[in-house]
Amino acid sequence: MAEHANRPVNIDRVIRMLLIHDLVEIDAGDNPIHGDHDPAEMARIEQAAADRIFGLLPADQATSFRALWDEFETAETDDAIFAKSIDRVQPVVSNLESGGRSWIDYKVTRGQVETRVGVKVQRGAPAIWAALKTRIDAWFSTSSTQSPD
């Protein structure tokens, strides 16, 4: 999906960032973006998980992998911005394909999807967000279980 990035990216680095990010989330416990949890506490738990995981590696790998994870977390480079965008796409697609399952469970509004997901996807992959937004709008327009924003 690199051709949909807002700016040119190194897709190999993007994929490595996403995988390393997910390893830390697996260790720390991934919380749904619309769940009821403290983001600051989750960041602390993920930092500790990253310290532990990368501390198990030989020094050169630990340094390299930690740098990629930190780059993803700060989302300041083109590669990291795009990686963050792509990281937010999968849960949206899962909800759209499952009839809005977690959106219904967490009573998510269209506005929450826009602010918690759309902003990040739009920043790095505007064409992907435009395509998703059409489907999201259609789902919220036809869903009788959702209250309007």
Domains belonging to the chain, first-starting first, are: 2-142 (1.10.3210.10)
Q: Give residue 147's pLDDT.
A: 46
pLDDT at res. 39 = 82
Across the range 80-103, mean pLDDT stands at 95
CB 69 within 8 A of CB 50: yes
Q: Residue 5: CB partners within 8 Å, gap ≥ 6?
A: 78, 82, 85, 124, 125
The answer on pLDDT for 146 being more than 60 is: no
pLDDT for 38 equals 84
What is the pTM assigned to this prediction?
0.89
Q: How big is the chain by its Cα radius of gyration, in Å?
A: 16
Going by the DSSP 8-state scheme, the letter that residue 107 receives in this structure is T
Question: Quick check: 148 pLDDT over 50?
Answer: no
pLDDT single digits (tens) 11-32: 999 999 999 999 999 999 877 7
Q: Is the pLDDT of residue 149 over 60?
A: no
DSSP string, 133-147: HHHHHHHHHH-TTSP
The answer to whether 14 and 82 have CB atoms below 8 angstroms apart is yes
- The pLDDT assigned to 144 comes to 56
pLDDT greater at residue 40 or residue 18: 18
Please give the average per-residue pLDDT across 36-61, as a whole number.
93
**pLDDT tens by residue, 93-145:** 999 999 999 999 999 999 999 999 999 999 999 999 999 999 999 999 998 55
Average pLDDT over residues 66-78: 97
Contacts of 72 (CB under 8 A, 6+ apart): 17, 18, 20, 21, 80, 83, 84
